[in-house]
């Protein structure tokens, strides 16, 4: 698994197969936890995640265009 670090935060990137992930339209999971998910194709200006645990999922946003 790859690890990415930005400033003081590190993220372990799991080996995921998109076919095994459930497509979701929100990152607010039941009881504050979301597992095996794919959140994609959303333009994000901000992403409030206070009190949410994201487990084994992928968040993808469209590439910025210039």
Q: Could you give the residue ranges of the DSSP H alpha helices within the chain?
A: none
Is the pLDDT assigned to residue 1 strictly greater than 80? no
Per-residue pLDDT, 63: 66
User: Per the confidence metrics, is the pTM higher than 0.75?
Assistant: no
How far is 58 from 35, CA to CA, in rounded Å? Answer: 10
SS3 at position 40: coil
Ordered by start, the domain boundaries in the chain are 17-66
* pLDDT (tens digit per residue) in 2-61: 888 888 888 877 788 888 999 988 887 677 888 899 988 776 777 777 888 888 888 887
Per-residue pLDDT, 29: 67
Torsion over CA: 64, 23, 53, 57 (sign) = negative
Per-residue pLDDT, 9: 86
Torsion over CA: 46, 17, 64, 9 (sign) = positive
Q: What's the token pair of residue 45?
A: 């200006």
């Amino acid at each position: 698994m790859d690890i990415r670090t930005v400033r003081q935060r590190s993220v372990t990137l799991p080996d995921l197969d998109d076919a095994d992930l459930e497509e979701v339209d929100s990152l607010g999971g039941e009881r504050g936890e979301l597992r095996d998910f794919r959140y994609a194709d959303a333009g994000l200006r901000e992403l409030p995640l206070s009190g949410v645990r994201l487990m084994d999922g992928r968040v993808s946003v469209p590439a910025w265009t210039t």
